[in-house]
Chains A and B, each alone.
Chain A
Amino acid sequence: MATSVTADFRTRLQDWLPKVVLAPSFAVILLFVYGFIAFTVVLSFTGSKMLPKWDFIGFENYAKLFALQHWSTAVTNLAIFATLYIVICTLVGLALAIFLDQKIRGEGLLRPIYLYPMALSFIVTGTAWKWFLDPGIGLEKTMRLWGWESFSFTWIKDNDMAIYTIVIAAVWQTSGFVMAMFLAGLRGIDNEILKAAQIDGASNWQLYRRIVIPLLRPAFLSAFVILFHLAIKSYDLVVALTGGGPGRSTEMPATFMYSYTFTRNQMGIGASSAVIMLMTIAAIMIPYLYSELKEKK
């Protein structure tokens, strides 16, 4: 216990100091994240057009939103994109990680090659692939120049196929990262377990299917969570690669929200679409973060 008043003041200051240091960040997060979320949620129940307006109209925006062909296109596209993106990235990442884990010569060279796309902006990726996939100048033309006259690859101009070009570019960008996550998981597995299984006569295939892949569960979970939230947030890549087109064939919720809010002056509907996006991510992220933080205690 402190005896003098000044000493007492100093101790109390020391007690408070940590909270005083943390407080501004916490306040900023409360305001700019949770306050803003509340703002957008409230806005989604108003008839705001070009500017926020506080005339409450109940669930009308949500009713309109789900009646819009434009929105269902965006949601369908996201479902196709997210499913393929997550599944292909996981498969490619896992395969590359397992292959790289076989005492490969030149691993130190290959790994950075697989991973560098992750350092690029989606706008750069989109620019590169947009051109590469353009039939008039990219892959199709090159194949024809090389003598494969009937080669045709026009997905990016095709209403039904354009969404898959976004999958290609997105997989190119992130699969190396998923590889790194699985590789870290593989390197953490005790070799003794594998040796014991081999002595028991397990084949390589059995070894991976029965022992290694189940042990990689945490890596699968992390990869899924990361890819899932990246998929829902994907905006830049669509803008750079297809601009949502041709037509609306590659529109996604993120591009929908932007155009309804800022170019079509339907702010209420834009806000309601953002709320739906947040709820979708929260449904996965909150249980995930909750269990992660709980374990750590």
Chain B
Amino acid sequence: MAAVTQDTAVSTGRITRTFIYVVLIVFALFYLLPLYVMGVNSVKPLAEITGGNMMALPQTWTIEPWLSAWSTAQIGVEPTGLKPYFLNSLLMVVPAVAISTVVGALNGYVLTKWRFRGDTWVFGLMLFSCFIPFQIVLIPMAVVLGKLGLAGSVPGLVLVHVVYGIGFTTLYYRNYYAAFPTELVRAAMMDGAGFFQIFWRIMLPVSGPITVVSVIWQFTNIWNDFLFGASFGGTSQPMTVALNNLVQSSTGVKEYNVHFAGAILAALPTLFVYIVAGRYFVRGLMAGSVKG
């Protein structure tokens, strides 16, 4: 019998093991394939794509498609490339992530350490907001953004993403703080520490890991959002909407290599975060689904 490990204690024969490895590797190729195809074809001249094999490495390497996707490709009617939209996304994502995370931390703190009658209901109502189909809020949101004068602007998108992100960030911090010993908070209260003092001195110093989770989750979600960007982006459309416009444009020759370079550009920030902090990314996904 095998030594104790964290893995299962099931012992398997040689043939079974070979089979398992083959399946695992085939799936790894399945997941990698689209990325490989995009990458390889984004550095080929267009003629090599239309005339050649999509799996082949480029015969002539070129970074022209990347330059074009970034700064000269036709997006909608303007030949601006994706650069301005990348900036829109950044301007939207940074404040939206920061605000929703801070608010979520405070909410989680109140909901676990300053409990009151009906707090579970308050939390339940916030939590349900994570799962609503956003189609149900599109029309009134369009009306309200119009009334506030925020329609088609980056601040408008920030507002939308903060509002529909609070549910998630509150969930994260609430589950995390629930595991933190309430006795410590009580003791600090006895010593005369106030609400914000306790938050600042006791809760925040231990909040590192969950803050990483919350920031990554919000960043990925908001960066990747398409529905709100397409509905309320106006002249400040985010990257996903611009990429879709680039790819779906019906005029002229389809520059596949430029489309791929653009798609990778749109994916880079979240891929980067995933590669650097994948562990936390997974934890965020899990916390959003399994109770904490």
Taking a contact as CB atoms under 8 Å apart, the answer to whether A102 and B116 are in contact is no
- Find out whether the CB atom of A116 lies under 8 angstroms from the CB atom of B34: no
Please, how many residues of chain B have a CB less than 8 angstroms from a CB on the other chain?
A: 105
Q: Which of A116, A176, A194, A243 contacts B248 (CB 8 A)?
A: A243
A161 at the interface (CB under 8 A from B): no
Residue of B126, B132, B225 near A25 (CB, 8 A) is B126
B91 at the interface (CB under 8 A from A): no
Would you list which residues of chain A between 103 and 132 have a CB under 8 Å from chain B? 103-104, 110, 112-125, 127-132
Pick the contact of B110 from A21, A92, A103 — CB < 8 Å?
A21
A-side interface mostly: helix
- Judge whether A233 and B128 touch: CB under 8 Å: no
B 35-48 binary contact with A (CB < 8 Å = 1; else 0)? 10110000000000
Asked if A204 and B12 make an inter-chain contact with CB atoms under 8 angstroms apart, the answer reads yes
Looking at A11-19, A57-65, A83-91, A152-160, the stretch in contact with chain B turns out to be A11-19
Question: Which of B28, B127, B282 has the most chain A CB atoms closer than 10 A to its own CB?
Answer: B282
Question: Total interface residues on A, using CB and 8 Å?
Answer: 114
Known interface pairs A127-B259, A226-B289, A293-B123; A95-B141 also in contact (CB < 8 Å):
no
Stretch at the interface among B72-80, B149-157, B207-215, B273-281: B273-281
**Which among B164, B227, B264, B289 has the highest number of chain A CB atoms within 10 Å?**
B289
Q: Bound complex: CA of A113 vs CA of B50, how far in Å?
A: 29
In B206-259, the 8 Å CB interface with A consists of 220, 223-227, 230-231, 240, 243-244, 247-248, 256, 259
| Chain B positions 1-49 with a Cβ under 8 Å from a chain A Cβ | 1-2, 4-12, 16-17, 20-21, 23-24, 27-28, 30-35, 37-38, 49
- B160 and chain A: residue at smallest CB distance: A32
The answer to whether residues A191 and B9 also contact, given A116-B274, A123-B244, A274-B136 and a CB cut-off of 8 A, is yes
- Given A99-B23, A270-B139: A32 and B163 within 8 A (CB)? yes
Is A166 part of the binding interface, using a Cβ–Cβ cutoff of 8 Å?
no
Instruction: Choose among B8, B34, B134 the residue that contacts A172 (Cβ–Cβ < 8 A).
Output: B34
Does B59 count as interface, using CB distance less than 8 angstroms?
Answer: no
In the complex, the answer to whether A278 meets B2 with C-beta atoms within 8 Å is no
Contact between B124 and A172, CB atoms less than 8 A apart: no
Bound CA–CA A131/B225 (angstroms): 21
C-alpha spacing A267/B275, complex, angstroms: 43
A170 at the interface (CB under 8 A from B): no
B96 beta carbon closer than 8 Å to chain A = no
CB distance from A162 to the nearest CB of B (A): 16
Q: Tell yes or no: A5 within 8 A of B by CB.
A: no
Known contacts A191-B8, A296-B291, A114 near B27 by CB under 8 Å: yes
Chain B contacts with A in 73-93, Cβ cutoff 8 A:
none
Our pick among A14, A30, A114, A124 for the contact of B263 (Cβ within 8 Å) is A124
Let me know if A229 is at the binding interface, CB within 8 A. yes
A203 to chain B, nearest CB (A): 10
Name 15 extra pairs, CB < 8 A, besides A21-B195, A101-B7, A121-B226: A22-B111, A25-B103, A29-B129, A29-B163, A40-B137, A120-B267, A122-B224, A124-B264, A127-B259, A128-B260, A137-B50, A226-B288, A257-B138, A262-B231, A295-B291
Q: List 14 A-B contacts (CB under 8 A).
A: A36-B140, A40-B136, A52-B143, A102-B7, A103-B8, A112-B274, A116-B274, A132-B34, A172-B34, A198-B11, A204-B10, A239-B226, A278-B135, A289-B124
Closest 8 CB pairs of A and B: A18-B114, A121-B224, A119-B274, A128-B34, A39-B140, A236-B226, A274-B135, A36-B140
| A residues whose Cβ falls under 8 Å from a Cβ of B | 14, 17-19, 21-22, 24-26, 28-30, 32-37, 39-40, 43, 52, 92, 95-96, 99-104, 110, 112-125, 127-132, 137-138, 141-142, 145-146, 172, 176-177, 180-181, 184, 186-187, 189, 191, 194-195, 198, 204, 207-208, 212, 218-219, 222-223, 225-226, 229, 232-233, 235-236, 239-240, 243, 253-254, 257-258, 261-262, 267, 270-271, 273-275, 277-278, 281-282, 285-286, 289-290, 292-293, 295-297
